Amino acid sequence: MEFWKSKRKMITAIAGFLVFMMVCTMISKSVYAYRLPQITVEEAKKRTLGRVVKLQGAVTQGKEFAVSTLPSIRVDTVEVGKGDEVEEGSVLFTLDMRDLQKQIAKQELEIKKLEVQIATLQHNQGLADAQKVRDTNRLLEDYLTEAAEGEIAVDRAKIREGEANADLQKHLEDVPQTTDEKGRAEAFAAYDDWVERGKRLKEEVKQLTSALTAAQREVEEAQAAVDAWKEKQTGGTLFSMETQTLPPETDAGLPETEAGLQTGVILPEAQTGSSDATPPETEFAPPNAGLSGTQSDSPDTTPPETEPAPPEAEPSETEPVPPDAGLSGTQSDSPDTTPPETESAPPEAEPPETQDTPADTDPPKAAPSGGESNEPGQPLEVLQKRLEEAVARRNACADALQEAQDRLQEHQEEGRVRPDFTAEDAEKKNWETQAETLRRSAENAGWAYDDALRQKQKALEEAQRKVDDSVEPETLQDTLVLNQLELSWQKEVMQGYRELQEQEGKITARQKGVVTAVHVSPGNGTPDGAAVVYADREENLEFWMTVPKEQKKYVSQGTQGNLQLGNKQLDCAVEYLEPQADGSYLAILSLPQGLGNMGESGTFVVSWQSESYPCCVPADLVYEEKGRHYIYVVRRQQGILGEEMVAEKRYVKVVEEGDSYAALEGGALADGEEVIASATKEIKDQAVVRYRIPDGM
Amino acid sequence: MRKKNLTAYVFLLPSLCGVLLFYLLPFADVVRRSFLTAVTKEFCGFDNYRAVFHNEAFLLASKNTARFCLFCLPILLGLGLFVAVLLDGYCRGKTFLSAYLLPMAIPSATVVLVWKMVFARQGILNACLGDFAALLGKNCVFEIDYMDTGAAFWVLVASYIWKNLGYTVTLWLAGLLSVPAEQKEAARVDGAGSRQVFWRVVFPQLLPNLYTITVLSFLNAFKVFREAYLVAGSYPHESMYMLQHLFNNWFVNLSLDKMAAAAVVTGGVMITGILLLQRLWEKE
Amino acid sequence: MQAAPGMDGEAVEKMRRRMKRGMAVVVLAALAVLLCLPVAMLLFGSVTGDYEMWERLLPMTPAGNGYVRWRWIPEFPDFSRYANLLFATPQFFVLFWNSVKITGLILAGQLLAAVPAAWAFARYDFWMKKALFAVYVILMLLPFQVTMLSQYLVLDRFGFLDTHWAVVLPAVFSTFPVFLLYRSFLTIPESLLEAARMDGAGEGYLFWRIGLPLAEGGIWSAVVLNFLECWNLIEQPLAFLKEQSLWPLSLYLPQIGLERAGFAMTASVVTLVPALLVFGFGKEYLEQGISAAGTKG
């Protein structure tokens, strides 16, 4: 390896250098470590802080006595000064006797003046009283009068009210009769019916009249026929030709309008059957055929038919009156049919079928009658029979007519008037109006009564007030009392002066003590308040101490502590705390009897315990700089050499300070963080540190 | 020949592997990145290149770097040659050379301290200049703040020359020494003045060295960044702002797309340059 | 220049030469002094007491006025700083050994990787040699920042980040030593190798026994250069090492502010020493290597 050998020098050098560096490395490590400040640490703990506060103070007097006397009396001599001890009865100061005399004289004058004043006042008072009594009496009388008058008014009003009410009541009871609606309607209906009936009757009459005329004609025709026959017998056939105009159908009802109409009339009758009248079936069974049969029957039926004619009851009967058809039927030519028809004429029976059927019934009726009559070549007997029948019919007609007319007459004689309810109504209205009026007056009467009552009340009250007023106390009396009081007081003062006089103006102490203040001086007047103040030496002593502002929070009223006076100790509590002008406080506690001498100084020791704080460190670990507090905390960080510990200056806020511990604001230290308690070297912020190596290792 | 080839590869292998892994692969990645956006990694074609060419900072840095190289190299080479000639001609002692080479051994970090003191506004240089001027009778005050003005450029130049002069001188000297003395003698005998001797005889023979020296000096020129960074930080004065500053800042700001594109561009430029140089001087 | 009477041309010539030489010497000396000035400043500054240093540098602060005036010999030399640094600052040594470790590993690695590679480039022809070499050269010239991010990711993938390997590995495979050594390997005459080959030597033998010894100078110069380079690494450790306790010394120095200028200087001087040592010993090799690198164009 020549290669390497030739480089020996270089290699040696480099190797040497490296070795040197190695050595240096190790040296530096140890030196560095050695140089590091070694620290001990403490952790923050949760604890309470304690503090011992010592307050200095002194014993002062508690109870003080004041000696005073009547003011403004010149003082002659003052025997004592501040701090002097006095015994019971020792003279404190003496008053000037001459001055005292003057005061007494003045006082007497005062008293006299007052006495005179009082007498005058009393006299005046008597007069006033008498007057007052009189006034009061008068007012009472007024009151009574008012009461009585009021009563009367009220009663009257009440009566009026009663009357009005009664009238009203009576009136209300007296209700005029009026027909009610139903009645009225009935009345109207009745009237209408009557009117209708009248009309019907008139019509009937008319019809009958025409029927009669027709019957008469028939008679004449029959007669004529007879005559003609007779003539024919004698030769002439004029009439037969005329009579052949009739249609061939004889049995069946010939559609002659008149006949139909007649039969129409009949039908309704039958159907009415309203009254007992007819065996309807027999008559109307074959309306078309064989009406003659019916006709034959019809005379039987007619009378009963006529009866039911004027049935007043049913209004509906008015309708069938348009058996005008029937009536007109009767007016028609066929005389045969007339009697039954006339009878059937006033069948005011209802059936509207009358309208329908006329056509049906007509022919049959007409047929036989018409047919028969005009047949030529009929036997005389027939004609005569016909004539007889016609006459009979005519007669019947006339009778009926007469009857009808009678009825009409009767009816008209009834002379009914349309029911007029207006009078009724008017009367009712009147009644109502009257009722209203009565009601109003009753109401008024009621109000009047109320008014009267109120009026009375008011009047009474006023009168009462006046009476009360007059009984009020008089100020006049106050003045009197005052004066009397003053008099008695002045007399007392006088008494005081006299006593002083007796004492020869000497003011003494009541009991033993020490003079603490003297407020009198020779030649000046005695003060208003205390002239001399002295305190009890032995009783009611107090201990006064000053509490500096910073320590105020440890001491408050009631704080217990230990008082040391001389070689005596006492556990007591602060009784009173008062702020002073300079920010400090004055604390006072009273001493039990026998303990302490005035002026003696002592110490009051208060041990104060705070609440528990979570983060407390020993107080001497907290430093202060420019008003801020700080601590050094150990922080671990990674450095070039690995993990190292660094002292970190951390500003904290001290929440509470005790004697040996300080509480830091929560959060100042995290869990487990250590505070540097001591160090071998001065620590600077961010300086690297290490733990202290325990001695002996 | 095949054997030769294989053995060659064997010799080459360790280096090649490492180069591949730690240089070529990263560079390939850089090329890839130059076509992607920075954050979303989407293909964006030549956007980054366009951005780079429009980027003021890039242009400034390129300009500065180019300016520096084009300026310094000739100075260094020239000065180096001059000193080498002097040494060769008059003073063969090794001491001077050692002295010249010393600066190269000084760590950049160390020398930066000195530069700070010298080139500060109230620095030593100004003081000396002032003194010098006073000597000459002029009473002007030199308060040039080298770091914050265009003079910063000269700081770089000075630092560069200071550091690399020895190296360059040594290189030139080696070249000079390789010129056989007889040739020079012969020339002189022929009546050529020393100047002529130099330019006609010696210099042509030095040309082959030029390639190496240029490349090496070029390489060292880039290394100036270190001093610049240590003295003036990431964002120095404009005139000092070089490509490396730019890359550094882009890296810090994660503008990786621009960085990649610029890297490719720079690489490209250098490749071309090298190839050119190679063509010019390599006569292999 | 006028010849003094009585002097012949040669004497004049000699004088001229002497004068020229004198001038040259002066110029060269001046240059040398100028170049060494900062180092001297450092040296003297490192023993200047803190207070004095502060005083001197006061004009540089906004508070001061006037100029920084340098006093060479301090009024109150303070060697205690050295003592402090060397004997009481373990942190410094942590960093120091970091630097040593990093540098040592890099250098070793480089020797293992770059030397053979340079040999391959120099002596063999192979496929893509030119291109590969060009690539190597380019890689050498590329500033670190270009590949910084991608290297970061690769290192992260392997988990090397925040360890020394992050700095060591990329540097080991730096192509700069390849370049340097290539030059010096080129100087070896091929004939020598051929001869050896014909003698039956294997390639390995050629490399080991012939190439290496002959290129020793070059190798040493590469080592020296790279040592200086590694000892001054700043960018890579800054980017890849987060843990302060892994930092090399070169990274620490810039951290010291100007207010501790004295300490900075002291630390710098101590940092300087190994570099100087290496430089001192490797000087000749350095020169040799550089020349070798420089000659063959």
A456-466 pLDDT, tens per residue? Answer: 888 888 888 88
Longest dimension (CA), chain B: 76
Chain C: residues touching A (Cβ < 8 Å):
86-97, 100, 213, 216, 243-245, 247, 273-274, 277-278, 281-282
- Note the pLDDT tens digit of each residue in B232-279: 777 777 777 777 777 777 777 777 777 778 878 887 787 787 777 777
Tokens matching residue A276: 């007992």
- Note the pLDDT tens digit of each residue in A141-151: 888 888 888 88
> Could you tell me which of A626, A629, A603, A605 has the C-alpha nearest to residue A615?
A629
Locate the chain C residue with the closest alpha carbon to A10.
C281
Contact B18 C173 (CB under 8 A): yes
Of C20, C137, C143, the CB nearest to B247: C143
**pLDDT range class, residue B206, cuts 50, 70, 90:** confident
Contact C293 B222 (CB under 8 A): no
CA distance B154 to chain C (A): 16
Is it the case that residue A653 has pLDDT exceeding 80?
A: yes
The phi, psi pair for A308, rounded to 5°, reads: -65, 0
* Neighbouring chains to B with at least 3 Cβ pairs closer than 8 Å: C
Q: Chain B partners of C125 at a C-beta cutoff of 8 Å?
A: 1, 4-5, 8
At residue C67, the pLDDT reads 61
**pLDDT range class, residue A473, cuts 50, 70, 90:** low
Query: In this structure, are strands A560-565 and A542-547 parallel, antiparallel, or unpaired?
Result: unpaired
* Neighbouring chains to A with at least 3 Cβ pairs closer than 8 Å: C
Q: Chain B partners of C127 at a C-beta cutoff of 8 Å?
A: 5
Is it the case that residue A120 has pLDDT exceeding 80?
A: yes
> Could you tell me which of A387, A620, A517, A561 has the C-alpha nearest to residue A80?
A517
Of A17, A24, A641, the CB nearest to C86: A24
Contact A28 C278 (CB under 8 A): no
**pLDDT range class, residue C211, cuts 50, 70, 90:** confident
CA distance C267 to chain A (A): 13
Locate the chain A residue with the closest alpha carbon to C245.
A640
Residues in chain C, total: 297
* Neighbouring chains to C with at least 3 Cβ pairs closer than 8 Å: A, B
Contact A10 C100 (CB under 8 A): no
Q: How far is CA A348 from CA A121, A269, A308, C112, in A?
A: 122, 8, 8, 159
Amino acid at A593: Q
Range of the domain at C204: 80-295
B157 and chain C: CB distance < 8 Å anywhere? no
Locate the chain B residue with the closest alpha carbon to C258.
B113
Instruction: Judge whether B76 and B164 are in contact, CB under 8 Å.
Output: yes
> Could you tell me which of A407, A186, A394, A395 has the C-alpha nearest to residue A309?
A407
Q: Which 81-100 residues of chain C touch chain B by CB within 8 A?
A: none
**Could you give the CA distance from residue C127 to residue A695 in angstroms, rounded to a whole number?**
75
Contact A28 C88 (CB under 8 A): yes
In three-state form (DSSP H/G/I as H, E/B as E, the rest C), the secondary structure along A620-640 is: HHCEEECCEEEEEEEEEEEEC
Instruction: Judge whether A449 and A154 are in contact, CB under 8 Å.
Output: yes
**pLDDT range class, residue A294, cuts 50, 70, 90:** very low
- Note the pLDDT tens digit of each residue in A481-500: 888 888 888 888 888 888 88
Is it the case that residue A186 has pLDDT exceeding 80?
A: yes
> Could you tell me which of B221, B222, B230, B70 has the C-alpha nearest to residue B147?
B230
Q: How far is CA A81 from CA A66, A75, A91, A522, A534, in A?
A: 14, 15, 12, 12, 10
**Could you give the CA distance from residue A165 to residue A157 in angstroms, rounded to a whole number?**
12
> Could you tell me which of C171, C97, C69, C50 has the C-alpha nearest to residue B128?
C69
Locate the chain A residue with the closest alpha carbon to C95.
A640
Contact B12 C116 (CB under 8 A): yes
| Number of other residues whose CB lies within 10 A of the CB of residue A387 | 21
Q: Chain B partners of C215 at a C-beta cutoff of 8 Å?
A: none
Contact B26 C154 (CB under 8 A): yes
Map residue A565 onto helix, strand or coil. Answer: strand
Is it the case that residue C1 has pLDDT exceeding 60?
A: no
C48 belongs to a structural domain? no
**DSSP element (H, E) containing C87:** helix C80-88
Higher pLDDT, C3 or C106: C106
Instruction: Sketch the domain layout of chain A as residue ranges.
Output: 1-35, 204-412, 542-691
Is it the case that residue A545 has pLDDT exceeding 80?
A: yes
Is it the case that residue C122 has pLDDT exceeding 60?
A: yes
**DSSP element (H, E) containing C119:** helix C90-123
Q: How far is CA B154 from the centre of its chain?
A: 14
At residue A631, the pLDDT reads 84
Instruction: Judge whether C137 and B29 are in contact, CB under 8 Å.
Output: no
The phi, psi pair for C29, rounded to 5°, reads: -65, -45
Is it the case that residue A307 has pLDDT exceeding 60?
A: no
Q: How far is CA A221 from CA A336, C8, C102, in A?
A: 12, 223, 177
The pLDDT of B65-69, averaged and rounded, is 84
Q: Chain C partners of A28 at a C-beta cutoff of 8 Å?
A: 86-90, 92-93
Is it the case that residue A552 has pLDDT exceeding 50?
A: yes
Is it the case that residue C156 has pLDDT exceeding 80?
A: yes
Q: What is the CATH number of the domain that holds C237?
A: 1.10.3720.10
**pLDDT range class, residue A282, cuts 50, 70, 90:** very low
**pLDDT range class, residue A252, cuts 50, 70, 90:** very low
The pLDDT of C163-175, averaged and rounded, is 87
Instruction: Judge whether A189 and A416 are in contact, CB under 8 Å.
Output: no
At residue A349, the pLDDT reads 39
Test the B interface: residue of C25, C56, C295, C296 with most B CBs within 10 Å: C295
Locate the chain B residue with the closest alpha carbon to C67.
B122
The pLDDT of B91-120, averaged and rounded, is 77
Q: Chain C partners of A639 at a C-beta cutoff of 8 Å?
A: 91, 244-245
CA distance A640 to chain C (A): 4
- Note the pLDDT tens digit of each residue in A320-338: 333 343 333 333 344 444 4
Query: Of the given ranges (A254-263, B42-51, C187-196), which has the lowest mean pLDDT?
Result: A254-263
Contact B212 C231 (CB under 8 A): no
Q: Which 217-246 residues of chain B touch chain C by CB within 8 A?
A: 218-219, 222, 225-226, 229-230, 243-244
Is it the case that residue A236 has pLDDT exceeding 50?
A: no
Q: How far is CA C181 from CA A543, B12, C110, C120, C177, in A?
A: 103, 13, 11, 11, 6
**pLDDT range class, residue B107, cuts 50, 70, 90:** confident
**DSSP element (H, E) containing A460:** helix A422-470
> Could you tell me which of B228, B223, B226 has the C-alpha nearest to residue B238?
B228
Q: Which 2-41 residues of chain A touch chain C by CB within 8 A?
A: 3, 7, 9-10, 13-14, 17-18, 21, 24-25, 27-29, 31-32, 35
C34 belongs to a structural domain? no
At residue C105, the pLDDT reads 92
> What percent of chain B is modeled with pLDDT above 90?
0
**Could you give the CA distance from residue B262 to residue B30 in angstroms, rounded to a whole number?**
10
- Whose tokens are 């009496």? That residue is A137
Instruction: Judge whether C41 and B114 are in contact, CB under 8 Å.
Output: yes
At residue B247, the pLDDT reads 77
Map residue C133 onto helix, strand or coil. Answer: helix
Q: For the purposes of burial, counting CB atoms within 10 Å of the CB of C75, is it exposed (0-12), middle (13-18) or buried (19 or more)?
A: exposed
At residue C108, the pLDDT reads 92
Is it the case that residue B143 has pLDDT exceeding 80?
A: no
B31 and chain C: CB distance < 8 Å anywhere? no
- Note the pLDDT tens digit of each residue in A365-392: 333 344 344 455 567 788 888 888 888 8
Query: In this structure, are strands A542-547 and A91-95 parallel, antiparallel, or unpaired?
Result: unpaired
Instruction: Give me Rg for the CA atoms of chain C.
Output: 25
Query: In this structure, are strands A38-43 and A688-691 parallel, antiparallel, or unpaired?
Result: parallel
Is it the case that residue A251 has pLDDT exceeding 70?
A: no
Which range among A642-651, C137-146, C205-214 has the greatest average pLDDT? A642-651
Counted domains in chain C: 1
- Whose tokens are 């002239």? That residue is A531
Is it the case that residue A26 has pLDDT exceeding 70?
A: yes
Of B14, B112, B215, the CB nearest to C112: B14
DSSP sequence for chain B: -HHHHHHHHHHHHHHHHHHIIIIIHHHHHHHHHTTB-TTT--B-TTHHHHHHHH-HHHHHHHHHHHHHHHHHHHHHHHHHHHHHHHHHHH---HHHHHHHHHHHHS-HHHHHHHHHHHHSTTSHHHHHHHHHHHHTT--------TTTSTTHHHHHHHHHHHHHHHHHHHHHHHHHHHS-HHHHHHHHHTT--HHHIIIIIIHHHHHHHHHHHHHHHHHHHHHHHHHHHHHH-SS--GGG--HHHHHHHHHHTT-HHHHHHHHHHHHHHHHHHHHHHHHHH---
**DSSP element (H, E) containing A563:** strand A560-565
Is it the case that residue C34 has pLDDT exceeding 60?
A: yes
At residue C106, the pLDDT reads 92
- Note the pLDDT tens digit of each residue in A343-353: 443 444 333 33
Q: Chain C partners of A35 at a C-beta cutoff of 8 Å?
A: 88
Is it the case that residue B60 has pLDDT exceeding 70?
A: yes
Contact C136 B29 (CB under 8 A): no
CA distance C84 to chain B (A): 19
At residue B145, the pLDDT reads 66
- In whole numbers, what is the pLDDT of chain A averaged over residues? 73
B126 and chain C: CB distance < 8 Å anywhere? yes
Locate the chain A residue with the closest alpha carbon to C212.
A3
Is it the case that residue A276 has pLDDT exceeding 70?
A: no
Q: Are chains B and A touching, using the cut-off of 8 Å on CB pairs and a minimum of 3 such pairs? A: no
| Number of other residues whose CB lies within 10 A of the CB of residue B104 | 21
CA distance C116 to chain B (A): 5
**Could you give the CA distance from residue B175 to residue B179 in angstroms, rounded to a whole number?**
7
At residue A368, the pLDDT reads 39
Contact C281 A9 (CB under 8 A): yes
Q: Which 243-282 residues of chain C touch chain B by CB within 8 A?
A: 250-251, 253-254, 258, 261, 264-265, 268-269, 271-272, 275-276, 278-279
Could you give the domains of chain B?
Answer: 64-255 (1.10.3720.10)
At residue B4, the pLDDT reads 60
Is it the case that residue B183 has pLDDT exceeding 70?
A: yes
At residue C258, the pLDDT reads 67
**Could you give the CA distance from residue A349 to residue A352 in angstroms, rounded to a whole number?**
9
Contact B91 C21 (CB under 8 A): yes
Helices (H) and strands (E) in chain C, counts: 15, 0
**pLDDT range class, residue B177, cuts 50, 70, 90:** confident
The DSSP symbol for A371 reads I
The phi, psi pair for B255, rounded to 5°, reads: -90, 65
> Could you tell me which of A290, A300, A369 has the C-alpha nearest to residue A340?
A300
> Could you tell me which of C117, C105, C147 has the C-alpha nearest to residue B17?
C117
